[in-house]
Amino acid sequence: MKKKKEEFYYKNLCSAMEYAYQAAQFLTETLKHFDKETIQEKLDAMHELEQKGDVKKHKMMKALSQAFITPIEREDLVSLSGYIDDITDAVEEVLLQIYMSNVTEIRADVFPTLDLLSESIKALGDVMEELKDFKHSKVIEDYIIRVNDLEEQGDRLYVENMHTLHGEEDIRTIVIWRTIYEYLETCIDTCEHVADVVGMVIMTNSYSVSVLAVMSVQCYNKKDLKKQRSGQNEKI
């Protein structure tokens, strides 16, 4: 029963990641085949994905409020669930900004960033899949590094996109697309935040295990020393 309860938390996070990935893929496909006349329908579909992500977050919060013991620190689970939800929210916000700003044409330079976003979310999904067995996983740290590397690539793309954008003469175009690029940058940055939390979970638990091991050895040595002293006193 205990194992089943623990699995809930990890499955919940993985499911939330899947909705984030679906949202990113849906955004990419919508912009690749952009049609101003159907943008409202696309927004509704995107909102459904965002709502499903919200449900996962609410279920996590409810479970945590009722749980006495959690597999990792309660605060870490809250952070992970919240950050993952933020990713999906930010993806939806990109499409919402395009609708509200009445965008009629999609800039070609947005697609490398969209591809990188999907790749980042997928890599983060790999991290979450390994989280349940993080104490024995041989690949989770490599996955975390991968997410961090992708975030650095995202930073470079963001700088180049902003440089190109501010060479435009139309102020309206600059304002609209600057906001869109900022939301995309936020998505990729948040992926790194999630990976960093997982990294801290690994480090904290590894430290705890090491401390317990040292304390056990020290305790054993003290008991052994007491026995030796006791034996010496008996001889005297």
Please report the pLDDT score of residue 204 as a whole number.
83
* Six token digits for residue 163: 């440089």
pLDDT in tens, 82-140: 999 999 999 999 999 999 999 999 999 999 999 999 999 999 999 999 998 888 888 99
d(C-alpha 46, C-alpha 228), whole Å: 71
* Range of lowest pLDDT (46-55, 143-152, 206-215): 206-215
Tell me the whole-structure pTM to 2 decimals: 0.84
* Six token digits for residue 99: 């609708």
Helix axes 2-32, 39-66, angle to 10 degrees: 160
d(C-alpha 67, C-alpha 178), whole Å: 43
For residue 42, pLDDT beyond 90: yes
pLDDT confidence band for 75 (50 / 70 / 90): very high
Please report the pLDDT score of residue 157 as a whole number.
96
**Domains of the chain: residue spans and CATH:** 2-202 (1.20.58.220)
d(C-alpha 106, C-alpha 177), whole Å: 10
For residue 235, pLDDT beyond 80: no
Please report the pLDDT score of residue 231 as a whole number.
53
d(C-alpha 164, C-alpha 107), whole Å: 11
**CA distance readout (Å), 106 to 1, 84, 134, 153, 161:** 51, 26, 41, 22, 13
Q: What are the residue ranges of helices labelled H in 101-170? A: 111-131, 140-165
Element (H, E) at 70: none
As a whole number, the mean pLDDT across the chain is: 87
pLDDT in tens, 204-232: 876 544 433 333 434 444 445 445 545 55
